[in-house]
Chains A and B, each alone.
Chain A
């Protein structure tokens, strides 16, 4: 009956189905289950549109840093340390996991602060997402998930360069990737919480970059052991997610000896930051979208 005059796609014998048929009696069911993933998918589509710059950044950034800091400064530090290196390893090995952890945080910042401002303020896409069955909590989760994927990609590429430069000697060195990811996620979740809590940028991100992020890089045992700092400023490292993820990375890449309690505290602290960031983000997203 459908054969003769029907259209080309009629030949496949499947009549195009309506949205209602495809979604079933409870039309929100799939969104309730997979809503967060749809948000992530959307972010991946956006990232695909600037894939070239993501790839360039992921390759050039580590090469540049490893060469300048690891090799350039490294040879200077190593020759002055009289062969002892820093903490018993060469400067490149010492600084490698810190650069890895820093990269994770930088990418996490980029992929949280600005997309969240765009979502609420600039393009208002979060309001569009929320007009579908997807909830504020799912949007926050999806954004963090997308950020996590981007961080994982960048950190994995960086780790490959570390290994190639001989800066990740231990067999457990690949564990530096999840360690850096955890640090990035914890920091990113806090930034998402912050960005979703402010109505306007008003230069907040610049302040954040100059007064929080820049000092964090300087005081988190990145370029020298935290112990070389006077006790009075060492707390900056203790509260900085970067120090915790850097130390975890060092344990992984060259077997830095730390008491198990300290190892556990790194994990717990980053986990707690992540949980706090998620909690506040959820609340902020739900509140702003329902206003």
Chain B
């Protein structure tokens, strides 16, 4: 490898993303996306109800929340296709209501539902899509090969999209979103509906993009996805922001260090919770949450708490000590589970 070509990371060797090769336009405050009091209503429904956030260059930013929280609606406004009802939104220094096409030229969009052209081949999908950005064929032929490599679809390049598995289609949709070398990649529920193995393959691909410095905006209702991929995220519910921060800081601020999960059987969970709280078994600041199928004891010392519970004569059917997750943060903030 010559000194001058500057290819070091595995990804930039294939030239899929070259963040340093160009200047990204920014908002006056230096951010790429800035929303203030953003609102979207559909009739009586306030799908997005006054949210503020901003996304910096190179950041992996997440919108975490259950289905119907308003994440996808917010995403469609950022994608500059759906117009906001109220508030301020500035993307790359432009107003999407006025300059939608100009902003979209800089974006890569991975929608919640794959909208590939299933009648044509994998390669044709990439080339045809690149044409919409006005890119010439020689560039696209080269780019398509790189992206097929990146999406690990080399054997399928000539196949019709119809013949691809769900995970392959998802990877192709992500590859397609990269065809114009976007400044921001928007991913709406990127792994919903995929089996665990396909999800991990996809996470690996997204992690490589993150490493290569691509700005990512991800909506998800999977807390593990948010924890793995996002530097910073907002937790949304009913169109509003419940909390904001890095996954670690959100857990630190809104949950205990550890969680003990106890199952006493559906009939006995509530009674056991009362007994635990009354029995002086919990440390200061510890708290018990009753779910239909189990108890969650939020505590700083999981093993110690579990030992005290068992020593006091309680006999759960199963027990598990784990670290707090974003799922616990969401439960704490809303009283509900993320995945329902």
Contact with A along B100-117 (1 / 0, CB 8 A): 111011110101010111
A1-9, A97-105, A198-206: which lies at the B interface? A1-9
The segment from B127-135, B265-273, B309-317 that touches chain A is: B127-135
Residues of chain B in range 151-176 having any CB-CB distance to chain A below 8 Å:
160, 176
Q: Mark B11-50, 1 if CB is under 8 A from A, else 0.
A: 0000100100110000000000000000000000000000
Which single residue of chain B is at the shortest CB-CB distance from A142? Answer: B132
Which residues does chain B contribute within 8 Å of A134, judged by CB atoms? Answer: 101, 132
Q: Is B261 an interface residue (CB 8 A)?
A: no
Interface pick from B75-83, B243-251, B293-301: B75-83
A257 contacts partner chain B, Cβ-Cβ < 8 Å: no
Interface size of A by CB at 8 A reads 44
B105 engages A131 (CB within 8 Å): no
Residues of B within 8 A of A131 (CB): 79, 81, 104, 107, 109, 111
Interchain residue pairs with CB less than 8 A apart (5) = A19-B139, A23-B135, A42-B128, A127-B81, A128-B116
Within the complex, which residue of B1, B4, B82, B107 is in contact with A291, where a contact is CB–CB below 8 Å?
B82
Residue B337 at the chain A interface, CB threshold 8 Å: no
Alpha-carbon gap, A66 to B319, bound state (A): 81
Contact flags (1/0) for A4-18 with B, using CB distance below 8 Å? 111000000000111
Select one of A2, A16, A39, A133 contacting B15, CB under 8 A: A16
Residue of B nearest to A7 (CB): B5
- For A135, the closest partner residue in chain B by CB is B101
Chain A residues with CB below 8 A from B118, complex form: 123
B115 close to A22 (CB less than 8 A): no
Complex partner residue of A19 from B107, B129, B132, B180, CB under 8 angstroms:
B180
Give Cα distance in the complex from A275 to B243, angstroms.
Answer: 52
- Of A29, A49, A132, most buried by chain B (CB within 10 Å of CB) is A132
Structural contact, B117 and A133, CB atoms closer than 8 A: no
CA–CA, A254 to B131, complex, Å? 44
A133 CB contact (under 8 Å) in B1, B102, B115, B176: B102
Q: Does B181 contact A (CB under 8 A)?
A: yes
Give the shortest distance, in Å, between B71 (CB) and chain A (any CB).
Answer: 17
Contact B105 A132 (CB under 8 A): yes
For B129, the chain A residues whose CB sits under 8 A away are 128, 132
A46 touches B119 (CB 8 A): yes
- Nearest Cβ on chain B to A18's Cβ, whole angstroms: 5
From A30-38, A180-188, A235-243, the one touching the partner chain is: A30-38
The reply to whether A289 and B81 form a contact with Cβ atoms under 8 Å apart is yes
**Shortest distance between the CB of B187 and any CB in chain A (Å):** 12
Q: Which single member of A38, A49, A133 contacts B101 (CB below 8 Å)?
A: A133
| CB pair A31 B133 closer than 8 Å | yes
Interface residues of B in 164-213 (CB under 8 A from A): 176, 179-181
Within 8 A of B (CB), among A85-141: 123-125, 127-135
Q: For the complex, is A20 an interface residue (Cβ under 8 Å from B)?
A: yes
Cβ of B2 under 8 Å from chain A: yes
B2 and A4 form a contact (CB under 8 A): yes
> Would A133 and B131 count as touching, CB distance under 8 A?
no
Contact B117 A46 (CB under 8 A): yes
